[in-house]
Structure 1
Amino acid sequence: MPNRVLKEIFGFESFRPGQEEVVRSVLEDRDTLAVMPTGGGKSLCYQVPALMRESLTVIVSPLISLMKDQVDSLIQAEVAGAAALNSGLSPEERWEVERRVRTGEIKMLYVAPERLRSLEFVLSLKRAGVGLFVVDEAHCVSEWGHDFRPDYLFLPRVVRDLGRPPVLALTATATPRVREDIVRSMRMQDPRVVVTSFDRPNLTYRVVEARKAKEKLPVLLDHIRRMQPPGIVYALSRKECEDLARGLRSFGVEAAPYHAGLSAEERARVQERFMTDELPVVVATVAFGMGVDKPNVRFVLHATVPASLPAYTQEAGRAGRDGEPSECVVVKRDADFGRRKRLISLSKTDEDAAVRLFDALVRLARDGRVNVPAATLAAAAGLDADATGVLLRALEEAGAIARGYDLWEAVEVRRLDEVSEGSGTLRPEVAAVHAALPGSGETTLAELAGRSGVRPAVAEGAVYSLMADGTVEAVPRGAVVDLRLGAERLGGGLRYEISSRLRRLSSAAFEQLEQMEGYANLRTCRREFLLGHFGESKSLAPCGGCDVCLGEVRAPVAGEVSAARLAPVRESAPPPDEALLERLKEWRKGQARTQGVPAYVVFRNSHLEEISARKPRDVRELGEVPGVGLRRAARYGEELLALLKDHESGEPPEAGEPEHLRRIEAAKALLGAGRGADAVVELYRALEVGGEAARGYIDRMLSGGEPEERREDPDAEHDRDQEAG
């Protein structure tokens, strides 16, 4: 039966390795994790069983392009019961798709993960009856994956509320650690795990060096002229996309940029021209190509090193899906690794941001609950949407908040029955909401919940039930998050848990970049290195499919240790102490202000990272930190060593403390080092920004006492360190 569907609908005579095993496992209603390389045919693993079922199959994917392409392809194959719900649809189009779900016309529904935060939508799915729940790009559920997305962590609750249908999780880039995290996070029960080989013998891997940024274009040109388009060039930024595309065109290569700064219409036009072979080369940010199945991509060139090996494997895997020889080339420039590290440092969410977000929640709360639009919450904390999502999850994990489904902000209703006795057969909570509804008109969900004496989530569920039963007509307006505060303030224990979680996320990003750096510097088989990263042990050298084995890179001489063998040593080196690193940056900022110079002139970020990791005990050890030297160690040694000693002797000050408390801590360190004059300057500045709160603290400190408690000051100024190091 699966083979007949495979041939009739998709035109294939037989399954690829692993596909049939996954399909049969799904048809047995068993939880299944499938790990297959990019281009390995993951979509057939759920499309075939979905077409063999009468019930609804829900496919969760973050890729709008994948949704559109697959739905369009299924429609072309005369499969009418497929549709997608994503932000690319108009409100009218979304309503029509949801209506078709409720009436049972849709059998295969693609949805973005954030859509499943809607209570009303999940209730409609439950009523329709979900027979299979598919999680595509399942590595997004893992904090150790290269593309972690907080909304994915809500999916297990959705599965539970849908009645626990079988789950199929699919990914192309899961290491053994990420596989375990997917099974744990999705709460899969006795899953069958199918892992096919990551080896793509038709791909040749190369790394070429560009010492200066201006050398990248000639290197790219050389490879593009040697290889036959079509191909993709990946760049780090919008500007780099534009510059490289312009440069390629000036040398006769027809190329177009693709990035988020272009209009949706322009991006669609570029993608369409590329898919139809009208455009030979696209220069794009990494989002391009996700889920787009173009089989004849002959090369994938990375103008800047990727952020991780899983990301690189996924992006490079877009080449040669037709099985024909194709090339994957990384242009390595040492400065780009530093640039990547700075981007990680600047983009990471920190404890201070978590405190700001929690303070915003406290201000917005009513009776311990927060019901506001997500954009309002992010704006109140001064954060972007991605950072808000990560921090909400960190607060939830620490027990500071509990987040449920997103709810309607308001609802416009019209009661179809005016006989109140009709509500007697309803469940008590539904009857209470029914009685509280206006005859017609709009009401906020909060007002309706207050009048009926139930929680907002219960009120929305009741309205949906009345709407589904034909008792009322209801049109929801807007959406709000639904949060319950689990604490009145972030005490030390909660802050420690949050800080630890955020440090783990940041450390994972740095660790992945280091692994990518190891790959770029290899002097042994690159193919073996990539396969080993994903837990596949194969002895391939000489593989004939990488620059090392082809003799284009100098082989290791006797006694030389390869980068692959050095990897465990690199990983065992002590990581930066994030709390100490923040204190060092604050100290550096004060020095820079005093001297009137940029902060990186005092110490670069890489220096401070090394100091926080090594924790030197004297000036000599400080001078041995790479890039510091004895002269600089002698100049700043007393202050830095005092700061290190203070950090080691007790709990470090919280990263989210108000500025006046941080300055007082710096003054204490200076006093301990015998630098009384400098300590006075810090105390004066603390009084400037902290006023009476700072004065009381200083009085107690100078009298030998300590304050009863250190209260948070949500309005204190906090300057973020944004300079490049």
Structure 2
Amino acid sequence: MSKTNRNVIDIAGAARKLLGFQSLRPGQHDAIQSLLEGRDTVLVQPTGSGKSAVYQIAGALLEGATVIVSPLIALQKDQADAIEASRLEATAVVNSTLSASEQREVLDRIEQGKVQYIFLAPEQLRKPETIERLRAANVSLIAIDEAHCISQWGHDFRPDYLGLCQVIEALDHPLVLAMTATASREVRGEIIERLGLQNPRVFVHGFDRPNISLRVDLFSNKDEKCASLLRRVEFAEKPGIVYVSTHKHAEDIAADLQRMGVDALCYHGGLKAKQREEIQNKFMNGEVPVIVATNAFGMGVDKPDIRFVFHADVSDSLDAYYQEIGRAGRDGEEAEAVLFYRPQDISAQQFKTGPAHVDSEGLESVYNTLIAMRGPMTRDEIVLETGINARKLVGLLHRLEETEAIRHLDNGDYEATSSRPLSQVIEAAAENQKFQKDLRKQRLQKMQSYAEWRSCRREYLLRYFGDDYAGPCGNCDRCEELRLMPKAA
């Protein structure tokens, strides 16, 4: 399709014909038009606002295949099934749930041009064979979901995303659509830089959720804070989510609620995958009205009738906090978001930001072991070879992966990427750790400012995300206090 033809396309008509949409939501038309005009595009919209429709429609109107990069295997399947159920072209999903022979079969179809929409996890794109097959498929658009994962400023950094810039270049820089549900100015800037986007257009829509009331309840005593939280959950309209910062806190609060007669379950990364899946399904199906969870719960969760999101602990950033409270009230009905806050909570979170210095001895042991192996190793093999306990090893592997000294393969193994001098690797890890520690401190300062803000809370949040919102909103505790204050004579 020529550029001239792209500009005269009836996008709304295409949306009706292809997806049955009577109208497009704010931001969708602009983003599709931007892509059809040949511009890299960043789209920031809340979950559930229809970001997937942008790449579906644009992909149908552009010549060539569309690659969708998504970290969530379950979400890949859901989106692929939705496309198959529409009037769009064939889809394929390539991820670790497929056997080697199944992956080869799918890649053959991709290379032969029989697939229009290709769903891939970011780690799949590290494989040279995958890149070669995609080059043959004439990729015209790469849509990157959860694009904030490439940002170290963001709250959900994933090293796998760092290689996407090289993938884009290897495919001769097709159009790029970077999508995320939450991204401050700093995160948007890092997305653009790290993906190597060329003169992109940036669209930010839908951050204001006026149906969610915002409040911060201030406490000086830890026990009073906990008691207040439990009472609020007991009498709140349900279903709802309580976010906490540790596994133990999730278990303790869920147990306290159960003793009070509230049907609640805890969810955290320490549970087995099958347990987490069962708990999430019970919540989504309405069998359990309250989930007490760490930030491990949420990505890919789209339950429209959540009536409250309470935070027993401060989130480590405003980006994370806003994404978490944004899970409430997606049906448009009234919902509430309450942060239960003690000023001491900030210093407690700062303490969790990790040590100031890297574990040079541990990094040396793991790196030298992988170099000596000259091939992939499982995590268990590294534990046996180094004598480092499994929990500590996770952090060391993460540090080495961030420096790109090692890589995490799709099958879960690890291997060294080069034989860089150990001193360079440790220096890079130390610089990266200091950088991340400073970033975490800055993010917590923003969170503290929100908690202690004395004017409209919605205005503070939306301005942080680049929205020129002018309060008062009339639906936060600060606006309520101002309304109740006697007017000056």
Give TM-score, length-normalised by structure 1.
0.59
Structure 2 counterpart of 1:290: 299
SS in 2 for 1:300: strand
Shift of the 169–390 alpha-carbon distance from structure 1 to 2, 3 Å rule, reads: farther
Structure 1 counterpart of 2:244: 235
Root-mean-square deviation (CA), in Å? 3.4
Identify which of 509, 523, 544 aligns with 2:474: 544
Shift of the 405–327 alpha-carbon distance from structure 1 to 2, 3 Å rule, reads: closer
Identify which of 159, 164, 175 aligns with 1:155: 164
SS in 2 for 1:289: coil
Equivalences, count: 474
Given the alignment of the two structures, is residue 345 of structure 1 paired with residue 360 of structure 2, yes or no?
A: no
Q: CA deviation at 1:11?
A: 4.6
Structure 2 counterpart of 1:40: 49
Structure 2 counterpart of 1:205: 214
The higher-RCO structure (CA 8 Å, 6+ apart) is 2
Name the amino acid aligned to 1:481: E
Name the amino acid aligned to 1:547: D
Structure 2 counterpart of 1:490: 423
8 Å CA contact 1:217–1:248 kept in 2: the answer is no
Given the alignment of the two structures, is residue 142 of structure 1 paired with residue 157 of structure 2, yes or no?
A: no
SS in 2 for 1:158: helix
Q: CA deviation at 1:312?
A: 0.4
Given the alignment of the two structures, is residue 371 of structure 1 paired with residue 337 of structure 2, yes or no?
A: no
**Rg comparison, structure with higher value:** 1
Q: CA deviation at 1:157?
A: 0.6
Given the alignment of the two structures, is residue 502 of structure 1 paired with residue 433 of structure 2, yes or no?
A: yes
CA distance in 2, matches of 1:161, 1:377: 33
8 Å CA contact 1:66–1:291 kept in 2: the answer is yes
Given the alignment of the two structures, is residue 481 of structure 1 paired with residue 415 of structure 2, yes or no?
A: yes
8 Å CA contact 2:379–2:414 kept in 1: the answer is no
Identify which of 350, 357, 363 aligns with 1:357: 363
Identify which of 173, 180, 189 aligns with 1:164: 173
CA distance in 1, matches of 2:216, 2:327: 17
Given the alignment of the two structures, is residue 116 of structure 1 paired with residue 125 of structure 2, yes or no?
A: yes
CA distance in 2, matches of 1:301, 1:330: 6
CA distance in 2, matches of 1:307, 1:485: 35
Deviates more, 1:302-311 or 1:261-270: 261-270
Structure 2 counterpart of 1:672: none
Name the amino acid aligned to 2:190: D
Given the alignment of the two structures, is residue 3 of structure 1 paired with residue 7 of structure 2, yes or no?
A: no
CA distance in 1, matches of 2:44, 2:19: 21
CA distance in 1, matches of 2:81, 2:393: 33
Q: CA deviation at 1:213?
A: 4.5
Identify which of 59, 63, 72 aligns with 1:63: 72
Name the amino acid aligned to 1:59: I
CA distance in 1, matches of 2:460, 2:315: 16
8 Å CA contact 1:297–1:326 kept in 2: the answer is yes
Name the amino acid aligned to 2:178: A
8 Å CA contact 2:305–2:331 kept in 1: the answer is yes
8 Å CA contact 1:301–1:331 kept in 2: the answer is yes
Name the amino acid aligned to 2:326: G
Q: CA deviation at 1:362?
A: 4.7
Shift of the 544–243 alpha-carbon distance from structure 1 to 2, 3 Å rule, reads: same
Which runs of 5 or more residues in structure 1 are unaligned?
A: 408-476, 559-725
Given the alignment of the two structures, is residue 268 of structure 1 paired with residue 277 of structure 2, yes or no?
A: yes
8 Å CA contact 2:371–2:416 kept in 1: the answer is no
Shift of the 129–202 alpha-carbon distance from structure 1 to 2, 3 Å rule, reads: same
Shift of the 139–364 alpha-carbon distance from structure 1 to 2, 3 Å rule, reads: closer
CA distance in 2, matches of 1:495, 1:242: 37
8 Å CA contact 1:85–1:94 kept in 2: the answer is yes
Identity %: 40
Give TM-score, length-normalised by structure 2.
0.85
CA distance in 1, matches of 2:371, 2:398: 18
Deviates more, 1:136-145 or 1:237-246: 237-246
8 Å CA contact 1:22–1:32 kept in 2: the answer is yes
Shift of the 387–330 alpha-carbon distance from structure 1 to 2, 3 Å rule, reads: farther
Pairing 1:223-622 to 2, within 5 Å after superposition:
223-346=232-355, 350-353=357-360, 356-358=362-364, 360-362=366-368, 364-365=370-371, 370-373=374-377, 375=379, 379=383, 382=388, 384-385=393-394, 387-394=396-403, 481=415, 483-487=417-421, 489-490=422-423, 498-541=429-472, 543-551=473-481
CA distance in 1, matches of 2:223, 2:412: 49
CA distance in 2, matches of 1:252, 1:275: 20
Name the amino acid aligned to 1:177: E
Q: CA deviation at 1:405?
A: 10
Shift of the 392–480 alpha-carbon distance from structure 1 to 2, 3 Å rule, reads: closer
Shift of the 483–496 alpha-carbon distance from structure 1 to 2, 3 Å rule, reads: closer
Structure 2 counterpart of 1:652: none
1:383-407: per-residue Cα shift (whole Å, max 9, x none)?
A: 534542443443x5xxxx6x79969
8 Å CA contact 2:55–2:143 kept in 1: the answer is yes
Shift of the 38–207 alpha-carbon distance from structure 1 to 2, 3 Å rule, reads: farther
CA distance in 2, matches of 1:377, 1:511: 38
8 Å CA contact 2:366–2:396 kept in 1: the answer is no
Q: CA deviation at 1:88?
A: 4.9
SS in 2 for 1:34: strand
SS in 1 for 2:423: coil
8 Å CA contact 1:255–1:282 kept in 2: the answer is yes
CA distance in 1, matches of 2:345, 2:99: 40
CA distance in 2, matches of 1:44, 1:522: 37
